[in-house]
């Protein structure tokens, strides 16, 4: 079972920055995600790890869109992995999936970034 946390943490992996997303992504995640993005500043690919995420609401979608907008402005490649089938469906319905690469796991995301 994946470890879950309300924090967002940042790590470097094979020339990419990985943000391990919180268990619950809602309006209370704003400070954590903004801080994580700043900590992950750079030009390398940005990977959002949703493996430990159990809940995302519309405010959480807005925060993810905000991260995608910042990455786009900075010309960064951005991808996501570890979404449950339900939240993958939500990424498709909202069309976020059209603008962010979706991968099943970390290995595929690292291999798939260009």
Q: 73: Cβ–Cβ under 8 A, 6 or more apart, which residues?
A: none
User: Considering only 2-10, 38-46, 69-77, 101-109, which stretch makes contact with another protein by CB under 8 A?
Assistant: 69-77
Judged by CB under 8 A, does residue 93 bind another protein?
yes
Give burial (CB, 10 Å; 0-12/13-18/19+) of 91. Answer: buried
Choice between 82 and 110, CB closer to another protein: 82
Identified binder of another protein from the candidate list 2, 27, 41, 111, rule CB under 8 A? 27
Min dist CB 14 to another protein, Å, is 26
* 3-state class (DSSP) for residue 77: coil
């Amino acid at each position: 079972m994946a470890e879950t946390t309300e924090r967002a943490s940042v790590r470097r992996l094979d020339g990419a920055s990985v943000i391990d997303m919180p268990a619950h992504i809602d309006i209370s995640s704003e400070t954590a995600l903004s801080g994580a993005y700043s900590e992950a500043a750079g030009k390398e690919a940005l990977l959002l790890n949703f493996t430990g995420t159990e809940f995302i609401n519309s405010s959480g979608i807005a925060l993810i869109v905000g991260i995608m907008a910042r990455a786009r402005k900075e010309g960064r490649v951005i991808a996501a992995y570890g979404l449950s089938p339900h939240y993958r469906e939500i990424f498709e319905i909202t069309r976020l999936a059209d603008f962010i690469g979706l991968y099943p796991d970390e290995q595929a995301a690292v291999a798939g970034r260009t």
